[in-house]
Structure 1
Amino acid sequence: RGATAEQLLEHLGKGNVYDSVAQAWQAAIDAAQPEDTVLVCGSFHTVAHVMEVIDAGRIGGE
């Protein structure tokens, strides 16, 4: 719980670190193929933020 994203990445070996949940979501969507599923895990706050980003895109016509 107390580890930074950078510290976790050191132990995982492969991955990316983003400044925001929205940036991470967009990177995942950009990297996904049409047949892929993008799964969001983490706290309720993380998942809720991604849901807000998705809803904002729908409202904006994206």
Structure 2
Amino acid sequence: ATYCNVHVYRNRRQREEANHFYGREDVLRRGPDGRLRLFRRKIVLDQRVVLDKNLYVFL
């Protein structure tokens, strides 16, 4: 498994900005062709309540 920490900064218009911090754990497995494939992904946000208007961001 691999684990990484991610910071997403989003800015909309002049005054709307949001910061999202999360941890991501990926489990990779080899496919029949020998290439690594994403088997499972777990995302843990560092916030209990997301105050942003939407999460239209690829995490």
State if a TM-score over 0.5 links the two structures. Answer: no
Which structure has the higher relative contact order (CA within 8 Å, separation 6+)?
A: 2
TM class by shorter-chain length? Answer: under 0.3
Larger radius of gyration: 2
Please identify which structure carries the higher strand content. Answer: 2
TM-score, normalising length: structure 2: 0.24
